[in-house]
Amino acid sequence: MPVRLATLMSVALVAFAANSILTRAAFTSTSIDPVSFTAIRLVSGAIMLWLIVRAQPTLPEGRGSWGSALALFVYAIGFSFAYISLTAATGALLLFGAVQVTMVSWYLAAGARLTSRQWIGFALALAGLIWLLSPGLSAPSPIPAALMIVAGFAWGVYTLRASGSGDPTRVTASNFLLASLPALVLAVAFSPGAVVDIPGALLAAASGALASGLGYAVWYAALKLIRTSTAAVAQLSVPVITAIAGIGLLAEPLTLRLVFAGIVVLGGIALVVVKPKS
């Protein structure tokens, strides 16, 4: 793999994992509320992406839509509320699993056919998520887990809607701008109970501008150099990176349930997205 491609992919994957770490850190070490965090994150992401687009005037045309923007907003607000109590690793695994299940379900509904190998993988991924959520001492709280699954569903919808709609960086910049509007409206509506401190605002801005805005721009640059199947496999590393960072930076525990459920979910997804060599 060329050095430039390896660098782009590494930066993007670390940025995606950093979203979980920064959000979880905000709700464990600062006083910021999830509504304010979401608004700052989306506005910061919109500003960063606008700057990136302005710096590249030769980019092809691309425009977002309200449907995609609302899906992005639902993802962001669900993501924030879920991380009030979920660990970074658990949240990342639930999000990633829900995104993949949503997308595969859509393809099936649209008439796509899975091989027996892919069906086994799909069933394993679902079983892993069910196992992770099943009652027990180490099971995540049901409401935050449900919110993260909703966030994953929304991100899956956003990804499906974004396919083939123009230059991805311009489209994402437009969608972040549109998604900022309902986020700001919600923030104003809940302003009497809002709590925003400087550390929390900085973490939200970093999540939006760096982990989201810059991360997506770098990822789209990498996608031009690799096949979609390779990109899908590379994304399997995001929950793993998140878990390692959560343990090292946030001192989060790593339960056996999470480890084994993660192996089943990611292994199942790998069976779906990895094409066997002919």
Query: How high is the pLDDT of residue 254?
Result: 82
DSSP string, the chain: --HHHHHHHHHHHHHHHHHHHHHHHHHHHS---HHHHHHHHHHHHHHHHHHHHHT-TTSPPB---HHHHHHHHHHHHHHHHHTTTS-HHHHHHHHHHHHHHHHHHHHHHTT----HHHHHHHHHHHHHHHHHHSSSTTPPPHHHHHHHHHHHHHHHHHHHHHTTSB-HHHHHHHHHHHHHHHHHHHHHHTGGG----HHHHHHHHHIIIIIIIIHHHHHHHHHTTS-HHHHHHHTTHHHHHHHHHHHHHH-----HHHHHHHHHHHHHHHHHHPPPP-
Residue 16 lies in a domain: yes
The tally of domains found in the chain comes to: 1
What's this model's pTM, rounded to 2 decimal places? 0.90
Domain that holds residue 233: 3-273
Q: Whose CA is closest to 243, among 232, 258, 260?
A: 258
Whether 124 is in a domain gets the answer: yes
What is the phi/psi pair of residue 62, to 5°?
-175, 135
Q: Tokens in use for 35?
A: 């509504």
The count of other CB atoms within 10 Å of the CB of residue 48 is 22
Residues of the chain with pLDDT under 50: none
User: Rounded to the nearest 5°, which phi and psi values hold at 67?
Assistant: -60, -45
- 278 inside domain: no
Instruction: Please say whether the beta carbons of 65 and 172 come within 8 A.
Output: no
pLDDT at 44: 98
Read off the tokens for 25: 């850190």
- Identify the pLDDT of residue 162: 77
CA distance linking residue 262 with residue 246, whole number of Å: 15
Distance between CA atoms of residues 48 and 190, nearest Å: 26
Tokens representing 77 are: 């607000």
d(CA 43, CA 178): 10
